[in-house]
Amino acid sequence: MFVGSWAFGGLVTADGYSAVDDAISRLAAVGADTRALMTAGFVGFGVGLPIYASALRSAIGGLAWTAAAATGVATLAVAATPLDRSAAVDTWHGVFAGLGYATLAATPLLAAGPLRRMGNAWLANFGLIAATVSATALVLTIGGRSTGLWQRIGLTAGDVWIATSAWAMVNGTIGDASGGSRQRRRSGQRRPWSSARR
């Protein structure tokens, strides 16, 4: 929903918008013809991330879920502070957007350790790559050149990892209702606390 909003919005806007040079948030700015569309994308992402975070906490534990939840909250704050309302609102918008980008990049990074301990090295490695791309793109947006392009690269990297990890939870590759790893139990490995109880 989030990616679709800025992808489609950038194509249909009649405001001379540049997906390469202009920030995604300009699609939701006060007076933009795509404001409703992009705001809906922000809200959908903002609501979905805390739900995802709850599942991630049950599946792998650790601190990654807190970063995911923070991303959702920051995104909702971005939606509530659209650009061009006032100078003060623009400043808060930038703060919330920065927090959202940083926590999005942190989510796969913080998940890498728990995933590796559960035997999901491929998803852990993918997370490290996604976190690196996302964080690097975030830094490059500060330069003021090709801001929209770098935002899209960074956000897409984080979003693809989230979608992949969500699918892994759905199909049972990581986690289950009791918070353990099905893959670990299939391989005959004991839970860390099972031997202690014996």
Q: What is the pLDDT of residues 65-97, one digit of tens each?
A: 999 999 999 999 999 999 999 999 999 999 999
Q: Enter the pTM of the model.
A: 0.84
Evaluate whether 151 touches 141 at the Cβ level (below 8 Å).
yes
Q: Check residue 185 and give its pLDDT.
A: 39
- Average of pLDDT values for 100-116? 96
Q: What is the pLDDT of residues 172-197, one digit of tens each?
A: 888 653 444 444 434 444 333 333 33
Q: Check residue 190 and give its pLDDT.
A: 38
Q: What is the pLDDT of residues 1-35, one digit of tens each?
A: 899 999 999 888 877 888 899 999 999 999 999 99
Buried b / exposed e over 28-44, threshold 16 CB at 10 Å, is bbeebebbebbbbbbbb
Q: Per mean pLDDT, which range of 50-64, 76-90, 141-155 is the poorest? A: 141-155
Q: Check residue 50 and give its pLDDT.
A: 97
Q: Check residue 16 and give its pLDDT.
A: 83
For tokens 């534990």, the residue is 61
Q: Check residue 71 and give its pLDDT.
A: 97
pLDDT above 80: residue 139: yes
